[in-house]
């Protein structure tokens, strides 16, 4: 699996290792060979994510993470050698605040936000209760496998 991490605001090596493992597990869980998948992950501040949220979602507010899928429908993935799944933008500042609010580590929050976004890249959503439960179950399964469960 190739994860292209932005150099700016990069979290520590331990967090990156957990993110990489979690991303591989997400992809495997969807039945795709991780060696074929590429994702970009960028860490930004609150003002930059606010601008992106306004530009792409028409919401003038700070958010924790944004997902930009390459495919509208995961069934569109061809038998290409490399699958560029999409882009993830994580607001490190919001992640740290949320970690404190939820009473867990910054590492868990950052990894969770990546897992959450990868499932969005695969087309999962949480607008309806049934979808939300399915998505949360998928996320928590991955987090437990890397010993960052609740």
CATH for the stretch 2-145 = 3.40.390.30
Q: Give the separation between CA 45 and CA 48, rounded to whole angstroms.
A: 6
Which residue is listed with tokens 């010993």? 147
Q: Is the pLDDT at 130 greater than 90, yes or no? A: no
User: pTM surpassing 0.85?
Assistant: yes
Predicted confidence (pLDDT) per residue in 22-59, tens digit: 999 999 999 889 999 999 999 999 999 999 999 999 99
Q: Is the pLDDT at 79 greater than 80, yes or no? A: no
E strands present in the chain: 2-5, 37-44, 65-69, 83-91
């Amino acid at each position: 699996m190739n994860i292209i991490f932005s150099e700016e605001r990069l979290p520590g090596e331990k967090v990156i290792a957990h993110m990489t493992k979690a991303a591989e597990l997400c992809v495997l869980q969807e039945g795709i060979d991780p060696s074929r998948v590429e994702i970009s992950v960028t860490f930004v501040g609150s003002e930059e994510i606010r601008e992106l949220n306004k530009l792409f979602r028409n919401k003038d507010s700070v958010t924790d993470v944004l997902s930009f899928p390459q495919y509208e429908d995961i069934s569109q993935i061809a038998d290409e050698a490399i699958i560029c799944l999409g882009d993830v933008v994580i607001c490190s500042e919001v992640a740290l605040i949320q970690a404190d609010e939820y009473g867990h580590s910054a590492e868990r929050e950052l990894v969770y936000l990546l897992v959450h976004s990868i499932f969005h890249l695969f087309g999962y959503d949480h607008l309806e209760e049934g979808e939300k439960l399915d998505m949360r179950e998928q996320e928590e399964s991955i987090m437990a496998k890397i010993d960052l469960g609740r």
